[in-house]
Amino acid sequence: MTRTNLSDFLNVCTTKQGKGGIDAAMVVLIEAMADTCRHISANIHKGALAGILGSAGTENVQGETQKQLDVIANDMLLESLAQTGVVAGMASEELDDCSPVRGCEDRPYLVLFDPLDGSSNIDVNVSIGTIFSVLQNPENGLITNESFLQAGHTQVAAGYVVYGPQTQMVLTFGDGVYGFTLDREAAEFVLTAERMQISEDTKEFAINMSNQRHWYAPVQKYIEELLMGKTGPRGKDFNMRWIASMVADVHRVLTRGGIFMYPKDQRDPSKPGKLRLMYEANPMSFLVEQAGGTACDAETRILDIEPLDLHQRCSVVLGSANEVNRVLSYHQTA
């Protein structure tokens, strides 16, 4: 089998016209992203040996305690992407406002990221990840938070890196989803999954069941039916998985199908869900749709949501199309 590394793959993409085609600046951006995530991976791998586990003693804009590794990963990405010369500005879960790259405001791309998703899993040695979304720089001038407020369907690239038993990068430029596995010795990502596809049907769901009492009626009904198994209206048994790292849960859905849900609930009407639209829901929805799946906020397509705030939250229901559409229909008839 011939070995295709990330650079080979990106070079082929530069020769494509239209769908899935990329320019030289995108190659530089993705190479920098991959290289930084390789270093983040090395830090995670060392864990307590590097003295970087535990809290950083600070809070992010959403009032969540930051872990040391959240801060380290964020700083690494900010620094390396700023040096590419192709990024005009960045926005991150860990920054209140966007970070324009001084002197590069006319460069072609904006990048949003969640530097280390699944923070609650960092200290317990369970899979975590980096999620990123790339937008075109609309302004070629001043970079402000508003420059980033573009609907998800305008993304030009999206991906994540999952730090699990293997470190893998999963990527789309709008023409299918490709997976790469990190070869630590060779210090490079190698293409290991081409045109990843999510099956239309599934027998596996992912939701935090401890929130059940807070869910709205359509979600209650949907999950109740799954739990009834073979003797219920669905006529088959369903299995449940919840890793509590979106990256790892979505990676499983991309690998073997499934439905992933983090719905808004009745606890706080001002909070439409837990997950963040711009750097969690949008990139994951782009990947899921490119793999033949569906992604909605239980009412509308996530990629069509017009963002109003860098850190806005949204409900997320994504994965195997027939299940996601069923959840949608339960909301429409409620």
Instruction: With H, G, I as helix, E, B as strand and everything else as coil, classify residue 209.
Output: helix
What is the helix, strand, coil percentage profile of the chain, to 5?
Answer: 35, 25, 40
Query: Which one, 75 or 194, has the nearer CB to ligand AHM?
Result: 75
194 belongs to an annotated ligand binding site: no
Cα dihedral angle (90, 143, 58, 45), rounded to 10 degrees?
10
Q: Of these, 100, 115, 118, 152, which contacts ligand AHM (CB under 6 A)?
A: 118
From 11-19, 71-79, 232-240, 245-253, give the range in contact with ligand AHM by CB under 6 A.
Answer: 245-253
From 3-11, 58-66, 116-124, 175-183, give the range in contact with Mg ion by CB under 5 A.
Answer: 116-124
Minimum distance from residue 235 beta carbon to Mg ion (Å)? 36
Query: Which one, 117 or 204, has the nearer CB to Mg ion?
Result: 117
Q: Which two tokens stand for residue 35?
A: 């290289």
| Contact in structure between 131 and 114 (CB atoms under 8 Å) | yes
Q: What's the start-to-end Cα distance of the chain, in Å?
A: 52
Query: Which one, 120 or 300, has the nearer CB to ligand AHM?
Result: 120
Q: Does 249 bind Mg ion (CB under 5 A)?
A: no
Q: Of these, 245, 290, 294, 315, which contacts ligand AHM (CB under 6 A)?
A: 245
Residues 141-160 binding ligand AHM (CB under 6 A) are none
Q: Of these, 14, 65, 166, 208, which contacts ligand AHM (CB under 6 A)?
A: 208
280 belongs to an annotated ligand binding site: yes
- Of residues 265, 192, 236, 268, the one with CA closest to residue 6: 192
Please list the residues that pair with 158 across neighbouring strands: 133, 172
Please list the residues that pair with 190 across neighbouring strands: 5, 181
| Contact in structure between 129 and 247 (CB atoms under 8 Å) | yes
Radius of gyration of the chain, Cα coordinates, nearest whole angstrom: 19
Binding site for substrate, residues?
A: 117-120, 208, 274
Interface with Mg ion (CB under 5 A): 114, 117
Interface with ligand AHM (CB under 6 A): 64, 93, 114, 117-120, 208, 244-246, 249, 262, 274
